[in-house]
Structure 1
Amino acid sequence: MFFSQIIRKLGALESSLNSISFVSSRNAGNYIEKPLIGHGKSFRRIVHYPEEYTVKPLEVTNLGGRDPVSGRLVVKGIGGGIKHKYHWIAWKREGPKEGPPQVERVIKVIKDGCRTTFVALVAVDDKLKYILATENMKAGDIIRTSCYIPRIPVRPFEGDAYPLGALPIGTKINCVEKYPGLGGFLVHAAGTCATIMRKAANNHVVIQMPSKKEFSLPEICMCTVGRLSNGEHWNTPIGSAQKNRELGNRPRSGWWQRKTGRFGRKIRRLPPVLTIGPKQPSNSEEIKFTLENYNHTRN
């Protein structure tokens, strides 16, 4: 009787232990799912935006490659660096939809530590805003903004903002809207530009990106004329390990392997033109099948 009670208690204890999962404190962090990289999150800094637009430099919180929610290290190559304040860019270039364009004046061109291209302070009436500076933009320049698409393409000057449909073929552009009213979404890096290639159907314009890919965008999408500034950014050597740390990059593992090119390089065909915009109605004929003339009687 005594031994049977002991065996019964041991069986109950074994069943309870099977329902408990033991994880050592050393490996407890391995069971937490890490955030995914490249899904709209920036693990370098968080910008503290106010409620209204301002040209005052904004405070930032450097993340050092860690997720702001869980605090786990996601990107190992980010960390340290000089703290820079953020200049809020007005991505939307809004102008009159008819009549003469809006005239703006460039106050100064400055360097922003949070981006590769230079930033220009622009005055519009009694308001100030920041835009991305083009290649030859300097203080005192007059730039224009218009949302009107004339019958004859306009003569563009560097820094002007027009819809894609108002510019001639071959114009170099930057800060291109992906959708009307979205603001400059494409081509932000220093020294880059897109090119207007041709007109397309359904009031679309085909542009060629710096990667040689072609997009078909609505002609009412706004863009800025010219190539972006600081084109020598990509050709400037870092020079030392200390300078690389000042840029916010952590040391690499040190493992390096020479690329001999033995297996060659795969040169693939460019993808077809990607049409971006509202879905167009199809012209295919709709066929309906019914059972009105179906004979239900069996022979």
Structure 2
Amino acid sequence: MALNRLFSNLIISTTTSTICKRTLHASAISYASKPNIVKPKPGFGKSYRRIVHFPEEYTVKPLNVTNLAGRDPVSGRVVAKGIGGGIKHKYHWIAWVRDGPTEGPPQEEKVIQIIEDGCRTAHIALVGVGDKLKYILATENMKAGDIIKTSRHLPRIPVRANEGDAFVLGALPTGTLVHCIEKEPGQGGLYVHAAGTSGTILRKQNDRIIVQMPSKRLFSFDQHCMAVVGRLSNVDHGDTPIGSPQRNRWLGNRPRSGLWHRKDGRHGRKIRPPKPVKEIKNPKNFPLPTIQLNMVP
């Protein structure tokens, strides 16, 4: 009896020790192989292509950037798979707020130079006003030497604005093409930044201005929101072919080779041979009976 109790105690102790070792080992593996890192999702207004290092005060000097290549700057995980490589560009700081006088004649500014910016699709213009310089988005026909006007005055009669001028939406006539539209007065141009795009002022409802966006949706803005007149530059951007895979890599787009294909693999859609030709002909074995007609009922 004593020997049986001893053997049973030994078996229970060995099994409990092995179970404890296994649980500890399994728990250690699970914690080590699954670190508590939440992978961020693309979108939500966050760019995983580059980080721009903005100084405290506005400057027209090109700003330094840190290319992310589609990775999260904190964890280093790949978030956007389609981003990678690309030529390193300097970032030009755009002055989104076009501020002018609320009364009297508009403020005049001179276009000094039109340049291309690698960090955006539309061209940009270097503008001088007084003793200050700033960058704005260039319009379709803007050139060096042009004089553009800026005003926040809301007149009783709509103004006749030229391309590149900035006025409040309530001061522009119906049918005017606009871009860099403010979301709220004084906030700065937020809508319509892409190359070759523009919105159209459709109508006025009380103190609101209805604008048709490039997506054909209708947005209602406050009449005191600023907007720039004209269509944005680099109109042929969307119609220009990339031309080569190497140029696509220069643009910062990662190759898409090696992806899952719908028609390949075990679970993919199979490509089967077409069915044989089906011959369509009138049946000759079953002729229709002849019907004889007469005038006698």
TM surpasses 0.5: yes
Per the TM alignment, residue 33 of structure 1 is displaced from its structure 2 partner at its CA by 2.5
The one of 209, 214, 217 aligned to 2:213: 209
Q: Are residues 1:42 and 2:47 paired?
A: yes
Per the TM alignment, residue 18 of structure 1 is displaced from its structure 2 partner at its CA by 3.9
CA–CA separation in structure 2 for the residues paired with 1:155 and 1:75: 45
Larger Rg over CA atoms = 2
| Alignment size in residue pairs | 255
Structure 2 match to 1:227? 231
Deviations 1:249-277 (A, max 9, x none): 1111366789xxxxxxxxxxxxxxxxxxx
Q: Secondary structure at the match of 1:22?
A: helix
Matches within 5 A, 1:154-169: 154-169=159-174
Per the TM alignment, residue 177 of structure 1 is displaced from its structure 2 partner at its CA by 0.6
Amino acid at match of 2:85: G
- Check 1:120–1:178 CA distance in 2 against 1; reply closer, same or farther (3 A cut): same
Q: Are residues 1:77 and 2:82 paired?
A: yes
Amino acid at match of 1:131: I
Matches within 5 A, 1:7-156: 7-8=12-13, 10-11=15-16, 14=19, 18=23, 20-23=27-30, 28=34, 32-156=37-161
Per the TM alignment, residue 213 of structure 1 is displaced from its structure 2 partner at its CA by 0.2
CA–CA separation in structure 1 for the residues paired with 2:258 and 2:181: 39
Structure 2 match to 1:176? 181
Amino acid at match of 1:148: H
CA–CA separation in structure 1 for the residues paired with 2:91 and 2:212: 30
Q: Secondary structure at the match of 1:23?
A: helix
CA–CA separation in structure 1 for the residues paired with 2:100 and 2:14: 82
CA–CA separation in structure 2 for the residues paired with 1:89 and 1:232: 22
CA–CA separation in structure 2 for the residues paired with 1:99 and 1:147: 10
CA–CA separation in structure 2 for the residues paired with 1:82 and 1:63: 13
Per the TM alignment, residue 76 of structure 1 is displaced from its structure 2 partner at its CA by 1.1
Point out where structure 1 has 5 or more consecutive residues left out of the alignment: 259-299
Per the TM alignment, residue 200 of structure 1 is displaced from its structure 2 partner at its CA by 1.3
The one of 239, 245, 261 aligned to 2:243: 239
Point out where structure 2 has 5 or more consecutive residues left out of the alignment: 264-297
CA–CA separation in structure 1 for the residues paired with 2:85 and 2:39: 21
Bigger mean CA offset, 3-12 vs 129-138: 3-12
CA–CA separation in structure 1 for the residues paired with 2:162 and 2:6: 99
- Check 1:139–1:6 CA distance in 2 against 1; reply closer, same or farther (3 A cut): same
Structure 2 match to 1:249? 253
Deviations 1:27-81 (A, max 9, x none): 547x743111111210111100001000000001110000111100011111111
Amino acid at match of 2:164: G
